[in-house]
């Protein structure tokens, strides 16, 4: 099954006999701003206009636990995640399509969590809401309760020790911007740099100017050039396990399975016992 769906394919699916559950996961990384602007309100954005039938899912509250020693977006409590998905109408036997405002990071986080917990049919709207050309509706949807019961472990997950080992034995990709990987800037986490042995692979390079993922052949060529060839085991991390999920999505489109280090740099850099590499050299 393809990991993504186009806007035209989604329109056809919504008009068909077995329409998917639609999840709207609009979100923006919260960084302090000198101007004092209020933080992005995904729920308000959803209620002001969303794809008909879509249900809002809050990344910070429903797709993650509270920030702590496991990072800025630790994995959610499984019971709470399952309850949130059922409230959103998710059932095991019904397809799910997830979208966000267009960046794809938040939608991919929901996609990865649903896959990791065993949902068999979940896709991301390629290009997000910006790609949708159909009508929008306002207000909040009230879906019928779903029956999805999450069972973790369906796809690979890394902890810090496994990520460190994979950086030595396989290919660990760092999905953050290159300047954060090199340690030149670090606007959010305690220190800049990267996990020793990790290879820089900014997730923004996986999309074209239109905000959609590049064709599968281009993505595969990119990842193979970075070392994902010949059966090499691949893992991905970012700042807090959100943009890395988008890179896992791109790898899936390319036909390359990859594990997610959910704690990512926010967990790694918060532990002073963990080594930190700086500069363009992986080591």
Of the candidates 167, 238, 245, 249, the residue annotated as catalytic is: 238
| Residue 238 known to be catalytic | yes
The position carrying tokens 């991919």 is: 108
The sheet carrying 55-56 orders its strands as: 4-5, 122-125, 96-99, 21-24, 55-56
Active site residues: 238
């Amino acid at each position: 099954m393809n990991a993504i769906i186009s806007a035209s394919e989604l329109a056809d699916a919504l008009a068909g006999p077995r329409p998917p559950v639609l999840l709207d996961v609009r979100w923006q990384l919260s960084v302090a701003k000198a101007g004092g602007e209020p933080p992005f309100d995904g729920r308000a954005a959803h209620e002001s206009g969303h794809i008909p039938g879509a249900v809002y899912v809050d990344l910070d509250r429903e797709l993650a636990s509270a920030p702590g020693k496991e990072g800025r977006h630790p994995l959610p409590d499984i019971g709470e995640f399952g309850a949130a998905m059922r409230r959103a109408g998710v059932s095991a036997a019904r397809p799910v399509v997830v979208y966000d405002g267009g960046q794809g990071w938040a939608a991919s986080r929901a996609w990865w969590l649903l896959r990791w917990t065993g949902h068999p049919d979940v896709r991301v709207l390629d290009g997000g809401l910006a790609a949708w050309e159909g009508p929008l509706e306002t207000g909040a949807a009230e879906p019928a309760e779903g029956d999805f019961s999450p069972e973790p472990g369906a796809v690979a997950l890394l902890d810090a020790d496994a990520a460190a080992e994979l950086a030595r034995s396989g290919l660990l990709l760092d999905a953050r911007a290159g300047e954060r990987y090199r340690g030149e800037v670090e606007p959010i986490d305690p220190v800049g740099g990267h996990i020793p042995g990790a290879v820089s692979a900014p997730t923004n390079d996986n999309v074209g100017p239109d905000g959609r993922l590049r064709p599968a052949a281009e993505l595969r060529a990119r990842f193979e050039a970075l070392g994902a060839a010949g059966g090499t085991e691949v893992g991905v991390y970012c700042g807090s396990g959100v943009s890395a999920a988008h890179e896992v999505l791109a790898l899936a489109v390319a036909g390359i399975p990859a594990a997610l280090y959910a704690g990512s740099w926010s967990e790694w850099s918060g532990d002073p016992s963990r080594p930190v590499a700086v500069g363009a050299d992986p080591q």
